[in-house]
Amino acid sequence: MRSRMHPSYYLSADIFEREQQKLFRKLWLFAGLKTLLPENNCFITRKIAGIPVVIQNFQGELHAFENVCLHRSAPLQSEPVGRRPLVCQYHAWKYDAAGQVSNIPHCDALYQFSEPQKKSLKLREFALRAVGNLLFVNLSDDPLPLEEQFSAQFLASLESSSSAYDSEVMVTTWQCRFNWKLVQENLRDNNHVAFLHPRTLAPFVSFLPVVDPACAAETQEPLTDISTAGLRQEIRYFSYGGPEGTPSEYQSLGWHANVERWRPNTESADAQVVDGRVHNQPVVGECQQDAYFNWLAFPNLHIASGNGGNSFVIEHYIPVAPDRTDVDIYRFTARKKRPNPASTQILLSEMHHSRLILGEDFGMLEKVQSILHSQAPVPTQGIYETTNRLIERWYTTLLETEHGL
């Protein structure tokens, strides 16, 4: 089967900009962890779809604003994570929980704003939702309901697993030279594991691709309902999660005894089946608890637990340019039962393990990107690549028509 993904989807600046407008500024996007905002005045800053965003804790209430002061366009918060009131460091304009300017030093003497002028000074606020410990932001003025983007099973699975996260979080960013879609396709193609990770992953866990001829046949047909409702209906199929890889042998490490290991419930196991479409063959039986868990939240979030819920990794793929993707990596264990002075070293070991495996993926994807050109052959896909084919059918329809989300 021929892919619908012409090379220009990975190379063109125009298409990149269209993606930003039609996808990333319309969909709910991962924005950070609630565990990083535990107290009043705690904040995180991110650039989401090119827009600087600050999420700030106001007496326990979280709000997401454009991180730009209305006076001289300085960032209101400049660190990625921190704790200070929402006050611009340039001329000390202060903002409240509604995004309203609440104090301007020497306002009457130096600015002489009228009351209506002062009242009009309000930051642009973005829709913000917490799913367990995961924060999602939507940049649209009229955001689609979160429940339309993600299935109920998937949201339940995210909420259950993320509620087990510990508050100590290790974070870094890798700057990669490939288009963000290449890695999303790679994550939904578990047939590569045996070939690309023969020593690091394949000996320890096996993944079974799904072969579904009926669904594969469907992917040959064009998308029938290209209305906004139809496009929103289709998008729910692209996010799923649960016990995906069967471990060859569960390895218990000493520190596992010191964390409240997350255990999946029935809903978590079911989240790989969305409205009858099966994305992965879930692990069943006794070894399900020890499985390699994956959660893929379309468009650009991957969460995994490679040790049956003892620790987690979040990979957030941020498109920077057609051939550039920043990858924010978060590493944390399940909630600790008691403080451990060496806990950072556990996270660092896990981070290096991620680096090893993802380095193999990213190395290949950078090679793919490096030889792409506008006349390059369009990929030929097998029947097991149904999920990627469904996504590209939806994606090309969205980008090539006037219809939108």
Partner 1 sequence: MACRWIIGAGAALERAHESWCRSFPDSKIEKIPLVQNAQYEFDLEPLNAISPGEGSAFVAFDERFGNFKRVELMQAAMERGFKLASFVSPRAMVAGGVRIGPNAFVGDGAIVGHGCRIDYNCFLLPGVCLGSDVHLRASCWLESAVVVGDGAQIGAHSILRSGALVAAGVQVGRGCELGWPRRYDKDIVAKTVYDPRYDAPIHVYG
Query: Which residues would be at the binding site for partner 1 (CB under 8 A)?
Result: 35-36, 38, 80-81, 166-175, 253-254, 341-342, 344-345, 347-349, 351-352, 355
Angstrom distances, CA of residue 147 to CA of 23, 38, 111, 232:
17, 26, 45, 10
Nearer to partner 1 (CB atom), residue 333 or residue 388: 333
> Cβ of 403: how many Cβ atoms within 10 Å?
15
Minimum distance of partner 1 from residue 342's CB (angstroms): 5
Nearer to partner 1 (CB atom), residue 89 or residue 345: 345
At position 330, the amino acid (one-letter code) is Y
Nearer to partner 1 (CB atom), residue 94 or residue 355: 355
Minimum distance of partner 1 from residue 360's CB (angstroms): 13
Minimum distance of partner 1 from residue 173's CB (angstroms): 5
Minimum distance of partner 1 from residue 140's CB (angstroms): 29
Q: Residue 84 burial (CB < 10 Å; 0-12/13-18/19+)?
A: middle
Nearer to partner 1 (CB atom), residue 172 or residue 191: 172
Minimum distance of partner 1 from residue 326's CB (angstroms): 9
Nearer to partner 1 (CB atom), residue 89 or residue 349: 349
Nearer to partner 1 (CB atom), residue 35 or residue 186: 35
Nearer to partner 1 (CB atom), residue 210 or residue 358: 358
Residue located via tokens 């109920």: 152
User: What distance in Å separates the CA atoms of residue 257 and residue 187, rounded to the nearest whole number?
Assistant: 30
| Residue 266 backbone dihedrals phi, psi, to 5 degrees | -60, -40
Quick check: helix, strand or coil at residue 83?
A: strand
Nearer to partner 1 (CB atom), residue 365 or residue 405: 365
Nearer to partner 1 (CB atom), residue 34 or residue 197: 34
Measured torsion, CA atoms of residues 187, 163, 47, 10, in degrees rounded to the nearest 10: 10
Q: Give the H/E segment covering residue 146.
A: helix 146-149
Minimum distance of partner 1 from residue 71's CB (angstroms): 28
User: What distance in Å separates the CA atoms of residue 129 and residue 321, rounded to the nearest whole number?
Assistant: 27
Minimum distance of partner 1 from residue 358's CB (angstroms): 11
Say which residues have a Cβ less than 8 Å from residue 94's Cβ, sequence separation at least 6: 85, 86, 87, 88, 101, 102, 103, 104
Minimum distance of partner 1 from residue 243's CB (angstroms): 25
253, 333 contact by CB (below 8 A): no
Tokens of 78: 């400049």
Say which residues have a Cβ less than 8 Å from residue 306's Cβ, sequence separation at least 6: 205, 245, 292, 293, 313
Minimum distance of partner 1 from residue 347's CB (angstroms): 7
Residue located via tokens 């949201």: 155
